[in-house]
Amino acid sequence: MEMGEVVLVGAGPGDPGLLTIRGLEELRRADVVLYDRLAPRELLNQVPSGVELVPVGKAPGRHSLSQDEINNLLVGYASQGLRVVRLKGGDPYVFGRGEEECLHVIARGLPCRVVPGVPSFVGAGAYGGIPLAGRGFASSFAVATGRLAAEKGDHVLDYSAMLRAVDQLVVLMGVGSLESILSQAEAARGPRHPAAVVMDATLPSQRILVGTVSSLRRASREGAVRPPAVLFVGRGVEWGERLWRTGAVSYY
C-alpha cells in the first residue's frame, strides 16, 4: 500500500481567489479533505467529486471536534494510505495549530507538509486599505492574540508594552476582549491614536470600523464589532482615506 500523507493547506482569509496555486493543486489531488469553519466554502468545489469532505470547524467556544480528535482523524486517514488535505483558514502557522497537527502526524511515522496561506491580517490590510509597515508611519508591527486576555485575565499579554515596543499592533481573536485591549492601547498611545477593525476581511460582507482607540472602545461597547475581526492600532489606519477599500466603512 502506498504511504499516505497529510498536507496542511492555508486557505487564506475568505476570498477564495486568495488560495495559492500550490494549495489548489493539493485540493485537486486530495483523497479526503478536513476543513475549518473559516476556510472558504467555495474552495471545496475544487475537490474531485466523490472525495470525502469532513467539517472539523471551530467556532469560538464551540469546537465541533476537539484538537485530539482532529489529530487522530488525520492520522487515521493517512495511515490508510490516503492523501489528506487539511484546509485551514489563513495560514496554518498563524494561530492555526498547524504545528501541533503536523507534529502529531510526524510522530506516528507519517509525512506532513505545509502550504502557506495569506494570513487574515494581511488580507484585512490589503482589502481594508491599511498598510502594515512602511516608510514614515510604521517601521515595525506585532501580531498578537486577544484570546489569552479573554481566558486568563488582562495580565497575560501586555498590549501597552507591545505598543511601546513596536509601531503598529495587530490583534486576532480580539473581539471578546476588545475593550480591555483598547484601554491598554489608550494607556500607551493616548485616546486619539488611530485604530480600526476589519470584519469578514476579503469577503463580500467585509465591514470596517475606523476611529481612534477611544471611539472604537465605544463601538465595541455598543456591540458594533462581530467576529471574525482583525484589530489594527497604529498610523497605517490613516492611509485608508486614500487607498482602495472594499465593503462598508463606518467612522467612529
Active-site residues, by number, are 36, 58, 173
Query: φ, ψ for residue 134 (rounded to 5)?
Result: 175, 175
Which of 37, 63, 79, 95 lies at the binding interface for ligand SAH (CB under 6 A)? 95
Query: For the residues of 188-208, what is the DSSP string, one character each?
Result: HH-TTSEEEEEESTTSTT-EE
Site for ligand SAH contains 90 (CB under 6 A): yes
Q: ∠232-201-178 over CA atoms, to 5°?
A: 40
Site for ligand SAH contains 91 (CB under 6 A): yes
161 vs 81: CA distance, rounded Å: 49
Which of 119, 131, 194, 236 lies at the binding interface for ligand SAH (CB under 6 A)? 119
Which of 4, 16, 23, 96 lies at the binding interface for ligand SAH (CB under 6 A)? 96
* 142 neighbors 162 (Cβ within 8 angstroms): yes
Contacting range for ligand SAH; rule: CB under 6 A; set: 90-98, 160-168, 185-193, 215-223: 90-98
Site for ligand SAH contains 194 (CB under 6 A): no
Residue 35 CB, nearest approach to ligand SAH (Å) = 13
Contacting range for ligand SAH; rule: CB under 6 A; set: 1-9, 107-115, 184-192, 197-205: 197-205
Which of 14, 16, 129, 211 lies at the binding interface for ligand SAH (CB under 6 A)? 14
Which of 40, 89, 128, 211 lies at the binding interface for ligand SAH (CB under 6 A)? 89
Give the burial class of 136: count Cβ atoms within 10 A of its Cβ; 0-12 exposed, 13-18 middle, 19 or more buried: exposed
Residue whose entry in the numeric block shows the C-alpha cell 485616546: 191
Residue 171 CB, nearest approach to ligand SAH (Å) = 7
Which of 229, 235, 237, 252 lies at the binding interface for ligand SAH (CB under 6 A)? 229
Query: For the residues of 95-107, what is the DSSP string, one character each?
Result: SS-HHHHHHHHHH
Report in angstroms the alpha-carbon separations of 7 from 80, 105, 189, 238: 15, 10, 42, 39
Residue 172 CB, nearest approach to ligand SAH (Å) = 4
Which of 201, 219, 225, 233 lies at the binding interface for ligand SAH (CB under 6 A)? 201
Site string for ligand SAH, 26-65 (x = CB under 6 A): ------------x---------------------------
* Cβ neighbours for 39, distance < 8 A, ≥ 6 positions apart: 11, 87, 88, 89
**By Cβ distance, which residue is nearest to ligand SAH?**
90
Residue 82 or residue 102: which is nearer to ligand SAH going by CB?
A: 102
Q: ∠53-54-55 over CA atoms, to 5°?
A: 120
Residue 128 or residue 211: which is nearer to ligand SAH going by CB?
A: 128
Give the type of residue at 88: K
